[in-house]
Structures are given as structure tokens and as C-alpha cells.
Amino acid sequence: MTATYDALVVGAGVAGIRSALDLAGTGQKVALIDHSPHLGGLLVQLDKQFPTDNCGMCKMLPLTERESSSQFCMRKGLFHSNIDILLSTRLESLEGDPGQFHAVLRKHASFVDPTRCIGCGKCAEVCPVEVKSEFNAGLEARGAAHLPVPQAIPNHYVVDLDNCVRCWRCYDACPTKAIDFKFAERESFNILVADPDPQTTADLAEWLKKQKFPIEGPVDGNSVLERAAEGKDVRLLILDMSLSDVSPERVLSRCLELNARLPVILTGTPEQAEAARLLEQGALAFVEKPLDRAKFVPWLDKLYMRIVSDEIIEIDAAAVVLAGGFSCYDPSEVADVLGYGRSPGVVTSLELERLVSSTGPKGRGLLRPDGRPARRIAWLQCVGSRDLKKKADFCSSICCMISIKEANMVRRLTAEQEGGPAETTIFSMDLRVFGKPFQSYLDEAKASGTRFIRSRIHSIIPDPADPGAVRVEYLDDAGVLQVESFDLFVLGVGARPPAGMNELARAAGIETNEWGFCKTMPFEPARTSRLGVFAAGSFSGPRDISESLVMADAAALGASRLVNIYAPLRERRPQPEPEFRDVTRERPRVFVAVCSSCPMVESRLDTDALTRRLRAMSGVTGVALVDRACTSQGWDRIIDKAREVDPNRVVIGACMPYAYVPRLHELGKALNLNPALMDVCDVATLTALGGDDGEGTDSEVFSRLRMSVAKLLGADPRPTAQARPASPVALVAGGGLAGLTAALAVADHGYEVHLVEEREELGGLAMNIRRTLDGEDPVKHVELLIDQAGKHPNIRIHTDSRVALHLGRAGRFFSVVNTPDGPVPVEHGAAVLATGGVESKLYEWGFRVHKNVMTQQELEQRLADGTVDTAGLNAVAMIQCWRSRDEERNYCSRVCCQQAVKNVLELKRRRPELPVFVFYRDIMTYGFMEHFYTEARRTGAQFIRFSPDNPPAMEHRDGKTIVSAFDPVLGRNVEVHADLLALASGIEPADHSEIAEMFGVEMDEHGFLKEAEYKWRPVASTKYGVFVCGLAKGPANMEESIAQAQAAAQRAVRMLHEKHLASGAVVAEVRHSLCSLCGKCIEVCPYEARRLSPTMDKIQVDELLCQGCGSCAAVCPNSATILRGYSDRQVLSVIDAALEETV
Amino acid sequence: MEEFEPTIVAFVCNWCTYTAADLAGTARMVQSPNVRLVRMMCTGMVDPKYVIKALLSGADAVLISGCHPGDCHYINGNYKARRRVKLLSEILTTVGLDPRRLKLTWIGASEGNEFAETVNELVRDIKALGPSEAASLGAM
């Protein structure tokens, strides 16, 4: 049967998860697949992220409808009622058109039945294989039977068949018979041999005797065809290329016609060139003759296990999001110069992440190869990035920040070592700190002691004076050769397309760009070359988390727009809201089910005594011991027993409580009981059973169960309140590129949009740009958007208008827009602020005094309109970072370097011999823009770096500007007599103070609108329900602004979609009779979910905004505020239960 | 005489430290059996009366542990806990309880070993300190 989804998301790293959550949050059914056996992609290996040096992944989880998704650390896992997660699954093919794709997925068998595996680890203990552990970046060995990541829940072992030696020890060791190598099924796996040489069949029959495969043959081509036509049960065909009566090609094509999935193995001599063609036509493999028994038998047996164990899943989906991520460059190919793989002191940045991680390789830590603490650690940037020889003419965008973060982590980790934190040094060409908070992050790193040296080190060699250390040589800024020795040298490895990119691109039918990443469309950063297929995260180019999430939101928006268009054509299953019975007036009846089969508990627990003690507890009406509660059979038994008891509270004692959360919803439906009145209590893991002696296990387990029972006895049984519906209208402030994009995106989902623009014309800053770096025409694009917005039935445009009043909360805002025709009241559920930025102009350095001094943007315009004639120029100078990245405006404006490169290329296109000099601090051509920088340097333009403490000096004489500066490459001062000086003026925020105050959003220290969280909630403002995008949020180029606008629209749509925005089960309430209106809870609430009622006699809680953090309850002096699920009564009785025995 | 085994009540936040505790548990890091974990949504909701209650009802120590500063799932709950614990420690001295019986730490989700170490260390310290003074205060 083919399952039907709204969207298929390929890749379950942060971007894929984000897209899936986005789509699920707007009510769409999503299939989320990943080729690896765990969720989280690369992030599971990274404990901390820049620029917060924290994790924060859980901040991605939805804030509304919290009950439909998991509410725990995302490193453990994820569930959402609208998302089906398929791990170890690859996309095999994607047919069909937007709205009705048909995808074939292959789920690779793990050979461990997850419903039986109890995670005891016996299989891994006995496995004789040792291969590099992916999780610990190869720094540790793992077996073929292994746990992919330590912290996932549920956490099942898997067998990696490729590395398996078929010793079957894990099979014998498994206490629950969870491992299945399909031994019995071999006897019915018919192998047909079509080989004129009878010896082959005889050999195979002899070799495979032990496995008991039925082997038939030798047969000729005609009999193969006959058998195929008759539908004989052939499971595998071995087809020799020397078959003479019928051509092997004909046999193959006919067999595949009749059974498209028939595995066909070709045999023959390597000279038989047509084998390659047959492989393309669908043959599974080609094996050279003569067959080598030692190789062929294990290979065939493994192939058999794959064939019978792998699962083919077919699904229909309206749209597809590809979030394949990226992989890290493998520096082994430069081992001879950089020493990677030769000197153990040379590691990659990913390996360093593992070395400093708590879950890193055992016994490694931050040590030199000889075991002494590493005290001098250096990083080398651009290993495998910005390197023409390695076909990597792009910047990986993230490595500079990763290295700074790693230096911070190292310094923190070693802070208490003798002699203080380890010395940290970063060698780089440019420091690409182009994100809004990155410059201050760099400044802090410098202040904390990390050294930054400009050098692309040529080679890293073992230090002859200190074995175990490595030595490098470099020229310092004064041109003096320096020799330094380091204990660890970290290679800041660049990004590469993900492993298996070609296969994925082929399966999904998308094109790749010249660097192998997914190709996207101009002004549609999330669109791939195939309609209906979108790219999220860093699949279309290296990006940090923040931007990956923006791209994930944009991709999700693209997909949901499409789903929306095709929705009327698709059958939608209505999902009735479960209604739970009201148990308010019933006495508590607690049913306790304890899983009894876990070997960790089984051997140590006196189950009879436990049952007796539990039954004796007041309020407990039923106790059941259930065999293997984690399996579906076990679960069914729990449901059956619960039905007998008819409880109104349920406690389940098992291992890994997180794994049960989705099942509680099932149980809730089965018992008609609110899952908020159920609890899963961990009786196996955590602190209890760490020791070898099982003493105290009984009382420990009982005590835990007692705590859970106590908590549920005090639980408030009243049904959770339903929150009100959201107004299905959005307000978009700002009619530039970002505002227009966001308005159209929201309007396409069927919601009404009010687009408010201060000026008389829509279009904003983008109308001043003539060409993008890629050669696209932005004005044409914006004009198209203006036209579409004007004609859109759902969009109301208010130009020459301002928002004059804004009140209310997410889902229910009320604003007044002052238009030339008078005030317009708008009730709306969400707001998008795209109020833009400005090109900053500082009147110094001769700007506006001398005619030949202009901003880079003016130069672009004047080149376009002809008011600057290149024929009359003798030399052009450009100065970058004019007041960007300094004390006043301590951020990189991002777009200026792109603008400079664009102008250089245009000048050089017109007059190749014209001397152009660019004075810069760091050229920020991140990502694929690097390639234009390379091109600009190829044209002969001189790029001269200056340091901020020694900026270029200027003198204006006879209509010329003389720029003098120190050139670190030449090691002396240079003087440029320029006819024209272009200044990179940078981006400044527009004056947002009024709008920020009105909408209640915060501004950052630069005056841009602040994100709720830079990393994980990049387009949310600090006020719930108000989203920010474009230049209002920070400097961004056009593609980035568009992606942000789409992301903001996605968030807005998520908010508007809900007819009934449901709050979570853990939510605060006020007992008004106890409340003294002191207002402490209003101040303390981090979500502004509380306010004094308009009648001034009550504190009101907005259930939608309340996230259940409990700050209010802790601060309330009268215990008038209660957090559902954590009331004082409950917590105090849990404490009592915890301590009962010790009193 | 049997060795004194302290009982510790640990209020851990749902997002970070509970995950770390879980990781420590599944990785079978050896720990004291006498730690009672009470999962809270956030350290910011640990009311001082819960701490006092635990100490007066027989706990020899209370551990509060949540996300690292700046990493709170609820924006700033851990800062609230930090302020509260500072004040509470002073109050403990006044009522005659050793302030070392209340410990606040930040343990991130992937720091299972840190959780194990923290607990083991606390158990060691409290063993040295002896049973809670609460009994002699006549509180029970």
C-alpha cells in the first residue's frame, strides 16, 4: 500500500527537522527520512554552537500545540503527531509532478528488531569487528553491531552489514532474539544460474551448501525466459555474459520487465564491456570470473540478507524538501603537506569537537599524542576551501566561526589547568565573520587571548625538537620568518556536498551546481531545478545553523504553498480532536504498569514484593507486571490491562520514558483519558542501577514509582482549557523586497494580508541595484512582485501609510493603519516587520566634498547610467569597511564586498587595463561568491589589506585622491593616485525606534530589530507573533532577504493556520481568590503571557503565550499561581514520596 | 557502624540536566543510589519552599541543576534559580543548616559524565559533612 503524505523531507539534520516541523505545524502530514540511523545530522556530534557557545537546539520545537510534539531535548529525539520518521532510509526515485509525486524509498535493514531490542549492548560486546566510529569522527573504534549515537531515545543497536564478518556472535548473544539474519529464509531463496559452463553451478552448489540456498542450473537463456514468463519463484538470477542462445541483454530486460525488482548478478570476464551497459539497465552487480570463493560467498550471503531484509516503501507526496546537508572535506589527500593521518597531533575541526566533548572518545580528551595535556593549539583555516587546486573555488562560510568557537571551548575547558587556559592561535587568510553578532564574537575571542595570525600555512611537519608536537613556519606581518611548535594542530576543514549527493540528485531529478551542491534558482533561493522540489539548509551551499534554518523555513514555505494549491485535489483525512472524558468528580484510581522483562531489572527485582507494596498505596487500584512494555505486544497488554481496571490515572514504569510519550497519546485515545493524567517513570536507567550490586534496587524502583503516583494523585483532573482561534489576517510592515515577498507568500496560503509602506512607492532599496553579482536584474524581479501584489485578491496595499497603533497578543492583534484615506483598523493574527535598512553615508574622507568620491552603490549606478565614463579614468581606488566593523557599527555589512567585487568586474569588463586598487580588511565573499572574488583578482585588480589600527590615509589634490596605505604583501607603503574613490558605505538600520516601541519588539545594540534567538529562532522577534526579516533584522543580500521573508511568512502562516490554537498541558493558572495582584508574576514572565485585566481586578494568563516554565509559580508569594502538572501540592508530595523511607 | 549514605534530592530541568542524567544512566556511569531525581520543567520554577521542604523532610542535600547560563529553554529561568539559590544559601545558615547542602550546577544535555561527577562529588562532600542537621533542629 502506498502511504500518502503532504510532503516528503529528505534529510533529518537540523534543517530537515525544521522543515518537517514547519510543515507539521501547519497541519501537513510529513514523511521525514534520513540515510543515517539517527536524527540530527552533523549536529549530534557538535555539543555547542557559535555565537552562543551553547546548544539551544530545543528552541526549535513548536511553541504552540506543544502537546503534539515532543517536549524534551532534541538530541534525544523527536516526535510529532504529523511527522513519520524513517531512519536508515534513502530516496531511490521520485516520479510524477508537483502535487502528486511518487517516491520510492529504501529502508536499510538494521538487522535488529527495534521492538525487541532492549539496548543492553551485549551484541556490541561480542562483535569482533573494529571500524572507525562515525559518531566520534573516527577517533574511536566501534563494532559492526553498535549504537549509532549514545543519547538517542529510543536507542537501539544496529548491525552495519557492510562491515559485518558474519560470525553470528551477536545473534547468539542477544537475550531477546532481536537480531535477525534471516537464517531460515535462506532455504526458500531460489537462485537460478544461467551460465553455459556447468562448473559454475557445481561450484556454487558446493560453496553455498552451508547456507542451504536452493540452486538451480545451469540453464540456458531460453529456459530463463520461460521460467520468468511462467512466474517461477526465482529470487536471484546469476547471469553469465557468455550466454549464447539468447543475448544477456535480452534476458535481463525481459526478466526486469516481468519483475522489476529481480536482483540480477552478472558474471563474466572484465573484457566483456557490455556489462557496464547492463548495469545501467538495472543489473545489480557485476562479478569477475573466475569467482573467488572466499570473497564471493560472504558477498552473496550479505547481498541475500539485504535483499530479504531491506524494505521498499512507496509514498505519495505533494511536495519534496531536500535537506541533505553537507559533508566535511577529508584532508587525507593533503597528508604529505599538512600531516593529517601522519602526525597524530594534526586533527580536523570535527575531530576536535569530539575530543572536547563529554561524549567523546574514551580516554582521549584534549591531550597530545604522547598523553601530555595539549597546551598550545592552533587552527589552520581554508583547508579544502578557497582552493582552486581542489576544485573548491568557494568559501565554506562557517569554518572561521567554528574555529573561533573551538578556541573558546578549548580555553574554557583548560581554564583551570596549571598555567591557565591553553594557548590558542588561529591562522587564516581572511576572517569571515559576516553574521550580525560575529564581529563582536571575534572581538571577544581576541580579548580573551586567542591569537589571530594572517597566514595560509604551507605545511605542518613533526617538530624535530619535541616528538609528539608539530612545527610550522610562517611570515609575520613584518615579513619576518617565524617558527612555532604546537601540541595540536586543527585543520578547519571546509564543506563538501553530502556523501551520496550524485545518487540523491539523480533520484530526486535535480541539477547540481559546479561545486556539486544543489543548484537553486535566481531570487528563489529554496527552489531547485525541479518544480515542487525544494532545498533546505546547507544542501544548496554551506551555511551556519541560523541561515540553514532560514533556508529550511523558506523551503517549507515553498512546499506548503504547493500543497495548498493542490490541496483541493487531494484527499485529506480529517483528524478528529480526541475528546477525553472529564474525571474531575472521580476519586483517583491509579493503574501502575511495570515492565518486568528488562534484564537489568529482572534479575534484581523482587516483583511480587513490589506489586504488594504498590497495591498497598492509597489511590492505586491496579498493578500489572508487563513483559517487554517497549514492544508493541507489550504495549497492547498494557492497554488491555488498563481497560480492565478503568483507571483515571496511569503510571508506567519502564526504561527510557521519552520513548513512551507518543504512546501515551495512543493510550489516551484507547482509555478516553487525557495523557496529562499519565506518567512514565524510569525504573531502569538513571542513577539507580549504576553499581554492580543490585542491593537497594527494590526500594529504589518502588520509590520512583511512588513519586510518580504521588505526582499524579495531585494532578488537576480538569480538562485543559482551549485557547481561542487566531485572526486569519497578517499585517506586513514594509513594502520592499522582503515585505513584498512575505506578503505574497502569506496571501498565497489564502490569508488576507495588509501591506503597509511608508513611502508612496513600493520596492524599497532593491530598486537602486542594477545587477546582482550573478548578473540578474533585481529591479525586474521587484517590479514583478509589485505587480503580483497589486493583483493579488488577498493583499491590501497601503502606501504612504504608517501603522499608528498596535495592541494585543499573538493570534489576536489589533492595529490601526493611517492611510491617506483615513485610518484603517486591522485585526490580525501575526505581523511581519520588514521595515528595511539604509545605505549609510558618513560625510568624511571627502565624501560629498570632492566629486570623485562616491559610495560603491553610487558607482554602480553611475556606471550603469553613463555618468562615470571609464575611458577618462587612469586609476580607481576602493576602500572597504568604511565605518563597518568598528566601534560605532561593530558588525559586518555583508553586502559591501560583493558590491566592490561587482564594481571591479564591471570596470575591468569595460577597460581591462584600468588599474583598480581595493583596500580591505577581510574580503567577505562567503559561499559561492568567492568565485567572483577569484575572478576579480584574475582581472588584475589589486587587493590590499589594511589593519583597522593603520587605515589608509587620503589626500585630495587636483581632482585626484591620493590614497596611501601599508601593503603587508610588499612590506612597505604604497600610494595610489586615483581619479575615482569608491567607499563601501555599509548597511545601517532604518530608524526602528518607533516601530519597535509600538510592536513591543526589542532592538539590538546596532538598532536592528532583534531576533528572539539568533541561532534557532532567526526570524522571530522578541515578541511572540511578530516576525522580522530583511534589512530590518540585519545586513543581508537579496537572496538572503528573500529567504528570510519566506521564513517569516512561514512562521506567520503557522500562527494563522490554527482555528484553535491549543495550549500545552503544562500551563500556568491563577487562583484569583488567593491573588493579591502584586504583579510579580507579570514582571517575571519571560513570554509576556501575563497581564492585569482591563478591569484591574485579575491577573490574566494567555494560555497561548505561556510556555509552562513555572517562573510565575515560583515567584508568587501567595501560591496563587499554579503551574498545571507542577502544583505545589504535587511537588511537595513528590518530595515526600522521594524521602519517605529515609524518615 | 554502617557507613552513612546521604540521601539527595535533585531538582533537574527537563531540557538539559535531565537529559544528561539520562545519558549518565544509560551509559551506566557508576553513581550513588541515593539520588532522587525530581524533574522540573525549568530550574526557574524551583520554589525555595521545595528546597526547604526537602531538607527538612530528610534529604541530606539538595542539588539544583539546569541549562548553562544563556542556554535556558525558557530564556532566563536558570538566572532566576541562581539568584534564588544565593539567597537561600544564606537563609540555610541562619536556620542552622550547612549551606553546602544546597548545590546549584549547570549541566548541558550532552554532559552525562559531568552529571555523574557532580553527583559523586556531592555525595562525597555530604558524606564528609555527615547527616543533615535538620533532625537535631527538631524539624521533623
pLDDT at B2 over 70: no
pLDDT at A151 over 90: no
| Residue A577 forms part of a structural domain | no
Whether A356 and A424 map to the same domain: the answer is: yes
Helix, strand and coil in chain A, % to nearest 5: 30, 25, 45
Pairwise CA distance, residues A918 & A941, whole Å: 7
A662/B contact by beta carbon, under 8 A = no
**Residue A137 amino acid letter:** A
Pairing state between β A795-798 and A752-756: parallel
Do the Cβ atoms of A686 and B25 come within 8 Å? yes
Whether A967 and A1046 map to the same domain: the answer is: no
Of chain A, the percentage scoring pLDDT greater than 90 comes to 63
Distance from CA of B126 to the nearest CA of A (A): 16
Residue A321, helix vs strand vs coil: strand
Residues 140-159 of chain A with CB under 8 A from chain B are 150-151, 153, 155
| Listed residues A520, A538, A569: the one ending a domain | A569
Distance from CA of B58 to the nearest CA of A (A): 6
Do the Cβ atoms of B21 and A686 come within 8 Å? yes
Q: What is the pLDDT of residues A922-964, one digit of tens each?
A: 999 999 999 999 999 999 999 999 998 899 998 998 889 999 9
Q: Look at residue A688 in the predicted model and tell me its pLDDT.
A: 45
Pairwise CA distance, residues A962 & A981, whole Å: 9
Q: What is the pLDDT of residues A866-886, one digit of tens each?
A: 999 899 899 999 999 987 888
Name the residue facing A73 among B54, B109, B140 (closest C-beta).
B109
At B110, the pLDDT band (50, 70, 90 cuts) reads confident
Q: What is the pTM of this model?
A: 0.93
The pLDDT of A287-291, averaged and rounded, is 87
Q: What is the pLDDT of residues A392-441, one digit of tens each?
A: 999 999 999 999 999 999 999 999 988 999 999 999 999 999 999 999 99
Q: What is the pLDDT of residues A67-76, one digit of tens each?
A: 778 888 898 8
Q: Are A729 and A829 in contact (CB under 8 A)?
A: yes
Pairwise CA distance, residues A120 & A274, whole Å: 50
Query: What residues of chain A lie within 8 A of the CB of B25, using their CB?
Result: 682, 685-690
Q: What is the pLDDT of residues A604-631, one digit of tens each?
A: 677 888 889 999 998 999 999 888 787 7
| Residue B65 forms part of a structural domain | yes
Q: Look at residue B22 in the predicted model and tell me its pLDDT.
A: 84
| Residue A1136 forms part of a structural domain | no
At A812, the pLDDT band (50, 70, 90 cuts) reads confident
The pLDDT of A49-75, averaged and rounded, is 87
Query: What residues of chain A lie within 8 A of the CB of B41, using their CB?
Result: 1066, 1108-1110, 1123, 1126
Residues 1014-1033 of chain A with CB under 8 A from chain B are none
Mutate to test the interface with A, among B7, B65, B75, B79 (most CBs of A within 10 A): B75
| Residue A300 forms part of a structural domain | no
Task: Return the bridge partners of A763, or none.
Answer: A736
Pairwise CA distance, residues B111 & A65, whole Å: 29
Query: What residues of chain B lie within 8 A of the CB of A52, using their CB?
Result: 70-71
| Residue A378 forms part of a structural domain | yes
| Residue A20 forms part of a structural domain | yes
Name the residue facing B74 among A52, A72, A1086 (closest C-beta).
A1086
Residue in A closest to B22 by C-alpha: A686
Q: Report the number of distinct structural domains present in chain A.
A: 8
Nearest one of A1017, A1024, A1018 to A1001, comparing CA atoms: A1024
pLDDT at A166 over 90: yes
The pLDDT of A31-50, averaged and rounded, is 94
| Residue B100 forms part of a structural domain | yes
Q: For all residues of chain A together, what is the average pLDDT? A: 90
Whether A95 and A132 map to the same domain: the answer is: no
| Residue B28 forms part of a structural domain | yes
Query: What residues of chain B lie within 8 A of the CB of A1022, using their CB?
Result: none
| Cell numbers standing for residue B55 | 531538607
Is the C-alpha dihedral spanning A656, A662, A666, A671 positive or negative?
positive
pLDDT at A1 over 70: no
| Residue B134 forms part of a structural domain | no
Name the residue facing B31 among A71, A687, A707 (closest C-beta).
A687
Q: Look at residue A692 in the predicted model and tell me its pLDDT.
A: 45
Whether A887 and A982 map to the same domain: the answer is: yes
Do the Cβ atoms of B80 and A1084 come within 8 Å? yes
Do the Cβ atoms of B57 and A1139 come within 8 Å? yes
- Tell me the CATH number at A694: 3.40.50
Query: What residues of chain B lie within 8 A of the CB of A1107, using their CB?
Result: 74
pLDDT at A1143 over 70: no
Q: Are A157 and A117 in contact (CB under 8 A)?
A: yes
Q: A403-425 burial, b for 16+ CB within 10 Å, e for fewer?
A: bbbbbbbbbeebeeeeeebbbbb
Q: Look at residue A45 in the predicted model and tell me its pLDDT.
A: 93
Mutate to test the interface with B, among A413, A687, A1123 (most CBs of B within 10 A): A687
Do the Cβ atoms of B26 and A119 come within 8 Å? yes
Q: What is the pLDDT of residues B7-59, one digit of tens each?
A: 999 999 999 999 898 888 777 675 667 788 899 999 999 999 999 999 999 99
Q: What is the pLDDT of residues A356-392, one digit of tens each?
A: 998 888 877 899 888 899 999 999 999 999 999 888 9
| Listed residues A986, A1006, A1024: the one ending a domain | A986
A1117/B contact by beta carbon, under 8 A = no
Domain residue limits at A475: 328-495
Mutate to test the interface with A, among B32, B47, B115 (most CBs of A within 10 A): B47
At A1118, the pLDDT band (50, 70, 90 cuts) reads very high
Distance from CA of B46 to the nearest CA of A (A): 6
Whether A375 and A447 map to the same domain: the answer is: yes
pLDDT at A717 over 80: yes
DSSP secondary structure, A82-98, as one string: TEEEE-SEEEEEEEEET
pLDDT at A574 over 60: no
Query: What residues of chain A lie within 8 A of the CB of B76, using their CB?
Result: 1086
Whether A429 and A509 map to the same domain: the answer is: no
Do the Cβ atoms of A1135 and B68 come within 8 Å? no
Whether A968 and A883 map to the same domain: the answer is: yes
* Bond from prior residue into A497 cis (ω within 30 degrees of 0): no
| Residue B45 forms part of a structural domain | yes
Q: Look at residue A686 in the predicted model and tell me its pLDDT.
A: 45
- Tell me the CATH number at A543: 3.50.50.60
Q: Look at residue A687 in the predicted model and tell me its pLDDT.
A: 44
Q: What is the ipTM score, two decimals? A: 0.95
Name the residue facing A685 among B22, B70, B116 (closest C-beta).
B22
Distance from CA of A1044 to the nearest CA of B (A): 23
Interface contacts A/B by beta carbons within 8 Å: 183
Domain residue limits at B122: 8-129
Name the residue facing A54 among B35, B46, B70 (closest C-beta).
B70
pLDDT at A442 over 90: yes
- Tell me the CATH number at B115: 3.40.50.960
- The single residue listed with the C-alpha cell 541560523 is A546
Do the Cβ atoms of A700 and B33 come within 8 Å? yes
Whether A808 and A846 map to the same domain: the answer is: no
Three-state SS string over A618-630 comes to: CCEEEEEEECCCC
A327/B contact by beta carbon, under 8 A = no
Mutate to test the interface with B, among A1109, A1112, A1119, A1127 (most CBs of B within 10 A): A1109
Nearest one of B134, B59, B140 to B96, comparing CA atoms: B134
| Residue B140 forms part of a structural domain | no
Residue in B closest to A60 by C-alpha: B73
Pairwise CA distance, residues A179 & B63, whole Å: 41
Three-state SS string over A1079-1139 comes to: CHHHHHCCCCCEEECCCCCCEEECCCCCCCCCHHHHHCCCCCEEECCCCHHHHHHHHHHHH
Q: What is the pLDDT of residues A694-706, one digit of tens each?
A: 556 777 788 889 9
Whether A758 and A645 map to the same domain: the answer is: no
Q: Report the number of distinct structural domains present in chain B.
A: 1
Residue B70 backbone zone (phi > 0: left; psi -120 to 50: alpha; other: beta): left
Q: Look at residue A722 in the predicted model and tell me its pLDDT.
A: 65
pLDDT at A810 over 70: yes
Query: What residues of chain A lie within 8 A of the CB of B119, using their CB?
Result: 687
Whether A459 and A598 map to the same domain: the answer is: no
The pLDDT of A111-116, averaged and rounded, is 86
Whether A206 and A168 map to the same domain: the answer is: no
Do the Cβ atoms of A1114 and B32 come within 8 Å? no
Do the Cβ atoms of A1139 and B36 come within 8 Å? yes
